[in-house]
Structure 1
């Protein structure tokens, strides 16, 4: 189990690198390669512990390490210790899942309200799927198909204006297949002629839905806005 492997590594390396027999910090200088390797691993483990636990008792951590190392005064049987850790992480995962579900529900409600209001504004057109768009500039070139690869400039924001991705800001157009993007893009690109610039308002079900990129600015069930310029059909 990855969690148990991580905790075993933490027990061995963090304490071996940073604690003396009395449990105090040694603050020894690094003299050998092994010293540096040991210290570096301790740094990495400490970083992971801080990222994993919002609360952590270093004294009991040291006590557990020392008791097992010396085979004395062990307070928990190994099987029970592992069960406690599993239960702790299962509870944390359940709490996080519930939190994400609640945030996703709120994001969806906010997105629906935004799109309902947005579709009544001047210039906004709505397709059967729910995609909304405004024609900022209409080109006169050909339109891509699902078989096409296109070159575009785009600027993507959340409905609150937060920029999450922009080829415009990077200064380099992007190239990709029409079907290699979210559903809202696949549909919207086929409405455009080369030389056009549209603004897309994309409901969550045509964007990333419940599964945006982990750790990114886009949250589950978020509606998205893109300014898209179709520069050319590459093939």
Structure 2
């Protein structure tokens, strides 16, 4: 969800960018700055580059606001697009129907509504996801070869591998695919073409525990309950109370050394889409 602060910040930035030249008009007349030669427009629909740039700026702002309206609708808040456009036009014309104080008060009230609606939706989604996750786990538990640990982790070893079982302080190299119970893929190292390397105790509990059931060269399927993943809050791309399914291939195990024993590999600290789907959530 796009935050209200981002929306208002963009509006403020736009206002500064567009209105600053007007505030400096008097000085500009007295000492005009040298102008840059106009370049030919890149699109025949515009007479010059300034026109095209202005249109691009407006189109970018319009797309941003359109996406923001859609996000609000997901929360049950349906804003009137015609009034949004009217507000922009009136502001440019200096004919706002609201005073600065009324605008501030209205936006503060709106922000409160958004936060309340977002919290309600998160709680609703968490309850629904918990039910769906439990149903999926119960079905998976009945499959041949599936085992359940005391923590609630479900796993099925597809290939045991050879060598030593990884320890918490070891660095492991894996390929994996992560999905939600509805089949949505939220992370896939195979698609990226880049295995992930991390210290075993730097990731979500379901992984730290699960990978100890295979060795180098092994393959395992993990069904991780929310309390061993991201719990009631979730993370970007992973809704609250989600049960996660991972198919993991353990490519290598690198024992800890005196130099690396207390360090977490850089690759395990990267943003979502690379490894945040398995790294521990920030407290």
Supply the distance in 1 between the matched residues of 2:196 and 2:45 (Cα, whole angstroms): 51
3-state SS of paired residue (1:150): strand
Supply the distance in 2 between the matched residues of 1:170 and 1:65 (Cα, whole angstroms): 46
Matched, 1:66 2:93: yes
Q: Which residue of 2 aligns with 1:38?
A: 54
Kept in 2, the 8 Å contact 1:148–1:178? The answer is yes
Kept in 2, the 8 Å contact 1:14–1:45? The answer is no
Q: How many residues align?
A: 217
Q: Which residue of 2 aligns with 1:7?
A: 11
Supply the distance in 1 between the matched residues of 2:184 and 2:140 (Cα, whole angstroms): 18
TM-score, with length taken from structure 2: 0.67
Matched, 1:135 2:160: no
Kept in 1, the 8 Å contact 2:46–2:52? The answer is no
Cα separation, partners in 2 of 1:61 and 1:200, compared to 1, 3 Å: same
TM-score, with length taken from structure 1: 0.79
Q: Which residue of 2 aligns with 1:228?
A: 248
Matched, 1:82 2:82: no
Q: Which residue of 1 aligns with 2:269?
A: none
Which runs of 5 or more structure 1 residues have no equivalent in the other structure? 16-26, 69-73
Matched, 1:159 2:181: yes
The runs of at least 4 aligned residues of structure 1 exceeding 6 Å deviation read 12-15
Supply the distance in 2 between the matched residues of 1:125 and 1:11 (Cα, whole angstroms): 60
Supply the distance in 2 between the matched residues of 1:80 and 1:125 (Cα, whole angstroms): 61
Higher RCO structure (Cα 8 Å, ≥6 apart):
1
3-state SS of paired residue (1:231): strand
In the TM superposition, what is the alpha-carbon distance from 1:13 to its structure 2 partner?
A: 6.5
Residue deviations 1:99-132 (CA, integer Å, cap 9, x gap): 2221121001111222233323331111111111
Which runs of 5 or more structure 2 residues have no equivalent in the other structure? 20-43, 71-79, 256-283
